[in-house]
Amino acid sequence: MVSAAERLREFLRATLPPEWVAAVEANDGDALAEYVADTERVAPFVRAVAAEGWLAPEWPREYGGLGLAPDEAVGVRRELARWRVGTVESAIGIGWVGPSILRYASPEVAAELLPPIARNETLWCQLFSEPEAGSDLAAVRTRAVRDGDRWIVNGAKIWTSRADRAAWGLAVVRTDPEVPKHAGLTCLCVNMTSPGVEIRPIRQMTGDAEFFEVRLTDVVVPDRYRLGEPGQGWEVVRSVLALERIAGSGVGAATPGSVVGRSVEELVAQYLPTADPMRRARIARIWVEAQLVALNNQRNAAYRSRGLPPVAAGTPYNKVLQAEHSKRLQRLFLEFGGLRLLAHEPDDTAAARDVWAFLRVQPKTIAGGTSEVLRDQIAERALGMPREADPSRTLSWRAYLESLAGEERRP
């Protein structure tokens, strides 16, 4: 039987421009990166691929996907990554917000919101983190108050990726301050063009501004755009984060376009032939580690497909590995490239790409759960080790805030 990945390969050969196909088939990473860097040229072709459902292979057909099994979808994602079809921006909608809409929205809202995501027409952002709620995400302070069949939202969100291009945002907000921290949260889909939504870019160490601050002032959200029940927000957030961490687990798991920088194959092709013994050792280790990241994803998907209990109780052990691996890999490109990368001619786009990738992977161990929070989670959920005491789990949110204020007042 022809696998889904093989069908996709045939389709891509027939659909994409000859230069793109040639770069992929010659395994020419530089030419491919050069080609897909022109996002305007590439966009209509990505849409053509998306129109067939390939970007959301596991989604049901009626919502724009292909209804494939998890292990078949792994092959499809690997193939898309090889062809560099898909963008970082589309990952949020396809990778983790979409599946949560599928699970928690009404069929009418799912039919409205999902197909444009699968077709790569509508981008989404996550209105999760706040200045006071980073690793302790359930400590969000943005309030939503019910007003008939709508909610009025006020607060401030931060580290929102691509808020400038997103048509929609998935927000977690506090709807009940009289119950403990995790119990008073609700998830709402916010139309980013609503009055009262203001965004401000945050410039990163790459020089780009992919992240934004988002202020929400008396933003109106119709109740039908609620995901899950009022008070069920933390459960929805956890399911979104679990999917985000699978998507952040590298080759085979990652949504197309979300792996930053050149691949380990490119490192080997460029640097192994001339590597001295010290470098050979480093190349061997990073190669083996890259294969393990991919094998872990294959194994996780194979267990899911057979309905077996997930590896490591479903904790994101491979997200931790992939995040640390990406940083090690991109650092090798930078170190092996040497000074000609650190100080390069203005038109040396290859050097610029390696430098950018090195900088861009730095937050991989922070975004989507810091490696420290995730190691806690692995220890607690996969190994049954005890949690730290957390008074905000038992006090009502209002009483907890008052106790914090009291501590601050004390001399």
Partner 1 sequence: MMVPSPEQRDYIDALDTLLTRADPLQALPDEPGDRVLDRGLWRELADTGALALLAAPPAEQDVATALLVSECLGRHVAPLPYLSTVLAATLLARLPGTPAGLLDEMAAGTRLATVGMIGVDGLLHPGADVRATRSDAGWRLTGRLPFVPDGDAADLAVVVADADERPAAFLVDLGDPGVVRHPLVCLDQTRPFAAVTLDQVAATPVSTDPEELAATLAAARAIGVGILAADLAGTIRAMLDMSVAYAKTRVQFGRAIAGRQAIKHKCASMLILVESARSAVYHLADQLGDANPERDYWASLAKAFCAEAAATCATEAMQIHGGIGFTWEHRLHRYVKRATLAAGLLGDADHHHEAVLAHLEAQHA
Q: Which residues are catalytic?
A: 244
Residues 176-215 touching partner 1, rule: CB under 8 A, are: none
The C-alpha angle 93, 97, 101, rounded to 5 degrees, equals 115
The only residue of 340, 372, 403, 404 in contact with partner 1, by rule CB under 8 A: 372
Quick check: 362 and 348 in contact, CB under 8 A?
A: no
The only residue of 378, 395, 399, 401 in contact with partner 1, by rule CB under 8 A: 378
In angstroms, the CA 206 to CA 216 distance is 27
Q: How far is the CB of 311 from partner 1 (least distance, A)?
A: 6
Q: Which stretch binds partner 1 (CB under 8 A): 79-87, 160-168, 171-179, 282-290?
A: 282-290
Binding residue count for partner 1, defined by CB under 8 A: 42
The only residue of 284, 342, 391, 402 in contact with partner 1, by rule CB under 8 A: 284
Quick check: 361 and 326 in contact, CB under 8 A?
A: yes
The only residue of 111, 145, 281, 342 in contact with partner 1, by rule CB under 8 A: 281
The only residue of 240, 283, 329, 332 in contact with partner 1, by rule CB under 8 A: 283
The length of the chain, given as a count of residues: 411
- Of 357, 163, 144, nearest in space to 266 by CA: 357
For residue 177, give every residue at least 6 positions away whose Cβ sits within 8 Å of its Cβ, in sequence order, or none: 143, 184, 396, 397, 398, 401
Instruction: Indicate whether 376 belongs to the interface with partner 1 (CB under 8 A).
Output: yes
Angle at which helices 39-51 and 4-15 cross, to 10°: 130
Judging by beta carbons within 10 Å of its beta carbon (0-12, 13-18, 19+), is residue 277 exposed, middle or buried?
Answer: exposed
Pick between residue 11 and residue 303 the one whose CB is nearest to partner 1: 303
Instruction: Indicate whether 406 belongs to the interface with partner 1 (CB under 8 A).
Output: no
| Residues in a beta bridge with 202 | 211
Pick between residue 171 and residue 253 the one whose CB is nearest to partner 1: 253
In angstroms, the CA 211 to CA 163 distance is 7
Pick between residue 292 and residue 359 the one whose CB is nearest to partner 1: 292
Residues 307-366 touching partner 1, rule: CB under 8 A, are: 308, 311-312, 317-318, 320-321
Pick between residue 246 and residue 374 the one whose CB is nearest to partner 1: 374
The C-alpha angle 12, 17, 18, rounded to 5 degrees, equals 95
Pick between residue 281 and residue 342 the one whose CB is nearest to partner 1: 281
CA 357 → CA 82, 163, 208, 242, distances in Å? 17, 21, 12, 25
HSE-CB at 5 with a 13 A cutoff on CA atoms is 16
Q: Which stretch binds partner 1 (CB under 8 A): 30-38, 112-120, 304-312, 390-398?
A: 304-312
Q: How far is the CB of 289 from partner 1 (least distance, A)?
A: 8
- Retrieve residue 98's tokens: 């979409």
The only residue of 40, 108, 347, 388 in contact with partner 1, by rule CB under 8 A: 388
The only residue of 44, 386, 406, 411 in contact with partner 1, by rule CB under 8 A: 386
The only residue of 268, 334, 359, 366 in contact with partner 1, by rule CB under 8 A: 268
Pick between residue 91 and residue 254 the one whose CB is nearest to partner 1: 254
Quick check: 370 and 137 in contact, CB under 8 A?
A: no
Quick check: 185 and 233 in contact, CB under 8 A?
A: yes
Angle at which helices 18-25 and 4-15 cross, to 10°: 130
Instruction: Indicate whether 69 belongs to the interface with partner 1 (CB under 8 A).
Output: no
Q: What is the CA radius of gyration of the chain?
A: 22
Q: Which stretch binds partner 1 (CB under 8 A): 5-13, 127-135, 140-148, 377-385?
A: 377-385
Pick between residue 90 and residue 296 the one whose CB is nearest to partner 1: 296
Provide the sign of the torsion angle of the four alpha carbons 187, 190, 196, 197, taken in this order. Answer: positive
The only residue of 61, 224, 387, 398 in contact with partner 1, by rule CB under 8 A: 387
The residues of the shown chain that bind partner 1, judged by CB under 8 A, are 268-269, 272-273, 280-281, 283-285, 287-289, 291-292, 295-296, 298-299, 302-303, 306, 308, 311-312, 317-318, 320-321, 372, 374-376, 378-380, 382-388
